[in-house]
Amino acid sequence: MKRVIYAESSAVYEGSQILPTPEHDVHPESFYAVSKAAGMLFAEAYRRFYGMETTALRYFNVYGPRQDYRRTIPPVMSAFIIKLLRGERPVIYGDGSKRRDFVYVDDVNAFHLLCLRDERTIGNVYNVGSGTSTSVREIYDTIAGLTGSTLEPIFKPDLSGEAQENRADVSAARALGWAPTVDLREGLRRSIDYIKLNVPAPALN
């Protein structure tokens, strides 16, 4: 019997009014979110017609080493870190009050391994987040403190279509014995150390 652990996304909760958001409150709005919800239906079809064992994971804002900082609008953690290490002012879209559920990549991978080994996860869907939310401004201030920067960010108009807050209900994952172990400050410190050592020098100069 083949088994697949596949990636959905917390984007399927775009229209939810419940915080923290449980797995059953699916309300996709954007095309991206609808595509992720469609993946859920495909997985169910494979289970029904071919007996494939599936486990779905809905990631919230995963961060840590090896984040792709080269995107047009890079992940907020990498964008802030690289700019501040260059001595430049990072951009915050909006006023910095938006809140996101950030979870460190090592904690996410620990849950991957649990799903591979624990048959209780078969046929289920799990939120993968920290269960807490932090504002973009708080992230900025923490990174600035860790890098020793006193620069203020540049504020630009908000990006459209983004929720004010996301926060995972991780009670289903916790019921399996999993819990995040890397707090935000420590995760950011590790991210800064990784970027200092591994991001090519031209990106930091």
Question: Residue range 192-198: average pLDDT?
Answer: 93
Tell me the β-bridge partners of 53.
Answer: 3
Question: Which residue has better confidence, 3 or 124?
Answer: 124
If you search the block for the tokens 């999993």, which residue do you land on? 178
Q: Which of 32, 46, 93, 194 is catalytic?
A: 32
Q: Has 140 been annotated as catalytic?
A: no
Looking at every residue in the chain, the average pLDDT score rounds to 93
pLDDT of residue 92 exceeding 80, the answer is yes
pLDDT at position 205:
57
Across residues 108-129, what is the average pLDDT? 96
Number of Cβ atoms within 10 Å of the Cβ of 50: 9
- Mean pLDDT across the stretch 181-185? 97
Number of domains in the chain: 1
Q: Is the entire prediction scored with pTM above 0.95?
A: no
Smallest CA-to-CA distance from 191 within 36, 82, 38 is with 82
Query: Domain of 195: which CATH number?
Result: 3.40.50.720
Q: Assess whether pLDDT exceeds 80 at residue 84.
A: yes
d(CA 43, CA 49): 10
Q: Which residues pair with 93 in a beta bridge?
A: 156
Domain extent at residue 189 = 3-204
pLDDT of residue 105: 97
